[in-house]
């Protein structure tokens, strides 16, 4: 097993220009980790996150990636390879956070095949094949975190398609942990509860009735913020949690206990 002890660790965070991904990228940087973050369309937002990370004294670069387009993943891996050499002076990275995604609120009776396929591509297929394409560049002893949802444990009507994909990600995580264990790579899944971001149209953040309802069902009495999740992910991939592997960790403030 090879380890990276002489240089800062490097993390890739998909969807790192906003929300949970942005919080994760910034909190990794606070812990001395360099970051490659991806964005779909908001290049300016991504570059602003890069600037924040650089201001902390860490290196960072933003790369475009549409996780719905699996045909682009091989080219993305080559972009990562080039960025590792040009920006970080190395050939491998240490941490992969599969975070990028989008929401869908539609009943099972009204969901279209196109909506279903989009959720498969964005959440399940991307987690599988982005990881597969990047594995040759992931250092032995590295860490992978897949982002799921509290909706795999509790059910709200309208989220069946989205939550089913996250359930698949949770099962995949166990198999990743099993198959990559020989390389010393630990793989875990983090399942946030309701978070007040612009995810899914900002419903949790902007709809006072929804916010109040979810807060009332959470033991800690409020909905989550992005900053409740990013520090936890950054901690999970640290050496302090090296023996945590193949686990689903819910970060929900105690929703629906």
Catalytic residues: 162
Residue of 234, 254, 170 whose CA lies nearest to 11: 234
Q: Which long-range contacts (CB under 8 A, 24 or more apart) does 176-182 make?
A: 176/131, 176/144, 176/146, 177/245, 177/246, 178/246, 180/135, 180/144, 181/245
Local structure of 96: helix, strand or coil: strand
For the chain, the straight-line distance linking the first and the last C-alpha, in angstroms and rounded, comes to: 41
CA distance 95 to 133: 14
Q: How far is CA 236 from CA 28, 140, 181, 243, in A?
A: 10, 17, 17, 10
CA distance 119 to 163: 9
Q: How far is CA 165 from CA 31, 104, 123, 191, in A?
A: 31, 11, 6, 13
Cα angle 37-19-86, degrees, rounded to a multiple of 5:
10
Q: How many helices (H) and strands (E) does the chain have?
A: 9, 7
């Amino acid at each position: 097993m090879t380890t990276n002890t002489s240089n800062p660790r490097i993390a890739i965070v998909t969807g790192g220009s906003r929300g949970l991904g942005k919080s994760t990228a910034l909190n990794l940087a606070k812990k001395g980790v360099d970051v490659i973050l991806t964005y779909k369309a908001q290049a300016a937002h991504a570059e602003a996150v890069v600037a924040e990370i650089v201001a902390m004294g860490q290196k960072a670069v933003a790369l475009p990636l549409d996780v719905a387009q699996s045909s682009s993943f091989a080219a993305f891996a080559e972009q990562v390879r080039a960025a590792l050499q040009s920006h970080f002076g190395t050939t491998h990275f240490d941490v992969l956070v599969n975070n990028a995604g989008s929401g869908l609120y539609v009943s099972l009776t009204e969901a279209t095949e196109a909506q279903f396929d989009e959720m498969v591509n964005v959440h399940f297929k991307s987690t599988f094949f982005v990881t597969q394409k990047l594995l040759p560049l992931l250092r032995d002893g590295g860490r992978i975190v897949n982002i799921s949802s509290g909706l795999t444990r509790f059910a709200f009507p309208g989220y069946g398609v989205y939550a089913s994909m996250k359930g698949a990600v949770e099962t995949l995580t166990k198999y990743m942990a099993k198959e990559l264990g020989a390389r010393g790579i630990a793989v875990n899944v983090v399942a946030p509860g309701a978070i007040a971001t612009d995810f899914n149209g900002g419903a949790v953040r902007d709809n006072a009735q929804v916010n109040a309802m979810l807060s009332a069902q959470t033991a800690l009495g409020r909905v989550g913020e992005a900053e409740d999740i990013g520090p936890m992910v950054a901690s999970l991939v640290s050496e302090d949690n090296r023996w945590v592997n193949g686990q689903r960790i819910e970060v929900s403030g105690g929703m629906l206990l």
